[in-house]
Structure formats: C-alpha cells, structure tokens
C-alpha cells in the first residue's frame, strides 16, 4: 500500500483571496493559474499496519508545524477507502519551502495523488482536486497542467469547488520568470491573511464583487491567446488583491521595495514592446509572465535588478504524475 507522485507548483494570474463560510476550505472567489514545470514536490505515502501514528517528513525533517493539515487531508481519503491505517509520508521540494513559491500547492497535490493511489482509490482528477482543496486552496489547481481554472462553486458541501484544465501546457508557450527577493518565511500566511482581509478591509467586499468580471476577461483572453488583454486583467487582479490586504487592520504588506521596483521594471518593458506582465502572491517574490520571444530580455533585466537574490525560469508544466 504505497505510491509516490509528483506535482508542480502553480501561480495564480486571477487571484484567490478569501474563503467562503464553513470548514471545507471553499474559496470565496474562483481563480486562474499557470502550472510551473520547474518547481515541484515529490511525495511518497506508505500505509502500514505497524504504525501507531502518521508520520510526515519534508526535505529530510519531521515537520510537526505542518503535520496536522497533512494528516487531516489524509483522513478524508482514509474515510473514502474505509481504512484507519496510519501512513508514513516522505516529501521533498526541489525549491525552498514557504518562500512564497507556492509549496503548499505542489505539496498537497502530490500528497493527495500519492495517497489515493496507495489506497487503491480510483478518483478522477476532479475528485482529487476537491480533496487537494481541503489541504490548500491553490493545491486544487496543481492537479492539472498548463492553464487552469478553479471554480469557487456554490454548494455548501464543496462538491462543485474544483479546478479544471483551460489550456494544455503546449498550447501557449509562455515562460514564467520568478525573481526571489527574500528567503525569509512570510510573517502572515495566506489563510490568516485572507481571514484578516475579509474581517477588516473596507476593500474586501469590492474585491469579491468585481472578481467574476476579471475571470471572464481572463478566460476569453486565454481562449484568444490575447497576451495584452491577459496582461492587463492579471496585473489588475494582483494589485486589487494586494490593495484589499493592505487595507486590512493591522495592514498586510507582502511586497518589499524590490518587489515594487520589479513591478515598475516589468511595466516599463511592456510599454516598450516586450510581451511581459507581473504577478505577486502573498509574499515578496516577483513573477514575470512572458511570451517566449521576450523572456531572455526579461530574465536578464530581473537578474540585474538590485535586491534580486535568485531568478528561476520555468515553462508551463503538466499536472500530477505517478513516480
């Protein structure tokens, strides 16, 4: 009863920020993301009658801080399989954990894919996406490759809150350039940050209300491969999310000075004709999305930006894979 799986990280172009009421980790809004080939988690799950407790190891270390969420996600699959067997989970990331590179997305997607196989559950990708969502909202998207849409859903039981593929990785050869500006763990994680924004930001209701229109614009831009339209709506969604977070009490400022310099740099390059736009998640890293022909220039501009510590270049990648 063991299996291993690999899942890639993803970055949202149209952001998820805020949860629906209830305990099922249903997002308040949908989202659209790109799956990154270069950043992945690999997870092996082994159910074993000799184990009295679940065990979770990440990058060679027992991680008690994250174990509760991991075991809770496993419980959902154990219930579906009708077993109480405990498991040993060994996971590794090929990139630094919790530095704003969406390790929870790839981590929970790989966990769910491996555990479902180890339990011999034949779940569809959609069903895996629903279980992965319980671990982390963005993980629901990492089940799929290329460009992915997450549906917020309306049902209180969360059965219509899942991701699905919009476009295969090969259908639009975009490149994502991640500029790392800090290697510190963020002060406020996305879950508590969302809760604080929903409770106290005067801009949060406007964020939720205006979100569906951004989803529609982005979906159409993706269908049309209209890079300029996708650039405009993605940057707007990102800045709206940050505006809602900044207006929370106490305020949430995820960007640092280098993040802002990177945003200006990318917008200046686009004004001068390079097909590139930025996005920033709940952390200070800059993510530049480019069409292939502009990516070398964007990479070298970001590498030369003072305060940038590391640059990672990725193409769009596939969804979950058995290892």
16 binds ligand PMV (CB under 6 A): yes
Least spacing, CB of residue 26 vs ligand PMV, in Å: 12
User: If binding means CB under 6 A, how many residues of this protein chain bind ligand PMV?
Assistant: 13
Which residues are CB-neighbours of 238 under 8 A, at least 6 positions away?
Answer: 15, 278, 279, 280
CA of 309: how far to CAs of 38, 48, 75, 179, 303, in Å? 18, 42, 39, 7, 8
Nearer to ligand PMV, 13 or 266 (CB): 13
CA pair distance 213, 191, nearest whole angstrom: 24
287 binds ligand PMV (CB under 6 A): no
138 binds ligand PMV (CB under 6 A): yes
136 binds ligand PMV (CB under 6 A): yes
* Residue 82 Rama label (left phi>0; alpha psi -120 to 50; beta): left
294 binds ligand PMV (CB under 6 A): no
Q: Contact 6/183 with Cβ under 8 angstroms?
A: no
What angle separates helix 204-223 from helix 227-246, to the nearest 10 degrees? 170
234 binds ligand PMV (CB under 6 A): no
129 binds ligand PMV (CB under 6 A): no
Q: Exactly one of 15, 175, 196, 219 binds ligand PMV (CB under 6 A); which one?
A: 15
214 binds ligand PMV (CB under 6 A): no
104 binds ligand PMV (CB under 6 A): yes
Enter the tokens of residue 77: 């699959």
142 binds ligand PMV (CB under 6 A): no
Residues 177-196 close enough to bind ligand PMV by CB under 6 A: 190-191
CA of 209: how far to CAs of 151, 162, 194, 242, in Å? 15, 20, 16, 16
Least spacing, CB of residue 103 vs ligand PMV, in Å: 9
282 binds ligand PMV (CB under 6 A): yes
Q: What is the largest CA-CA distance in the chain?
A: 63
Least spacing, CB of residue 136 vs ligand PMV, in Å: 4
Point out which residues bind ligand PMV (CB under 6 A): 12, 15-17, 31, 104, 136-138, 190-191, 281-282
């Amino acid at each position: 009863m063991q299996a291993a799986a690999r899942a890639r990280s993803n970055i949202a172009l149209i952001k998820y920020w805020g949860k629906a009421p209830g305990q099922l980790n249903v997002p308040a809004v949908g989202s659209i993301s790109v799956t990154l080939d270069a950043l992945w988690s690999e997870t092996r799950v082994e159910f074993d009658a000799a184990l009295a407790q679940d065990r979770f190891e990440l990058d060679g270390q027992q991680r008690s801080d994250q174990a509760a969420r991991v075991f809770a996600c496993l419980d959902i699959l154990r219930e579906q399989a009708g077993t109480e067997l405990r498991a040993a989970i060994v996971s590794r990331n090929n990139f630094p954990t919790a530095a704003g590179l969406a390790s929870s997305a790839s981590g929970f997607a790989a966990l769910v894919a491996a555990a479902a196989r180890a339990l011999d559950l034949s779940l569809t990708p959609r069903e895996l996406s629903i279980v992965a969502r319980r671990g982390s909202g963005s993980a629901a998207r990492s089940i799929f490759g290329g460009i992915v849409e997450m549906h917020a859903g309306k049902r209180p039981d969360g059965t219509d809150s899942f991701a699905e593929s919009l476009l295969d990785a090969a259908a639009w050869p975009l490149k994502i350039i991640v500029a790392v500006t800090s290697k510190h763990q963020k002060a406020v994680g996305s879950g508590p940050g969302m809760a604080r924004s929903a409770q106290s930001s005067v801009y949060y209701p406007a964020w939720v209300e205006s979100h569906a229109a951004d989803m529609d614009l982005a979906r159409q831009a993706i269908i049309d491969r209209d890079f300029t339209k996708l650039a405009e709506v993605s940057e707007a969604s990102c800045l709206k999310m940050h505006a809602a977070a900044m207006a929370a009490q106490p305020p949430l400022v995820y960007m640092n000075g280098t993040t802002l310099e990177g945003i200006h740099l990318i917008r200046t390059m686009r004004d001068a004709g390079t097909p590139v736009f930025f996005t920033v998640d709940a952390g200070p890293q800059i993510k530049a999305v480019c069409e292939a022909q502009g990516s070398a220039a964007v990479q070298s501009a970001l590498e030369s930006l003072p305060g940038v510590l590391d640059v990672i270049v990725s193409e769009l990648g596939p969804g979950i894979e058995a290892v």
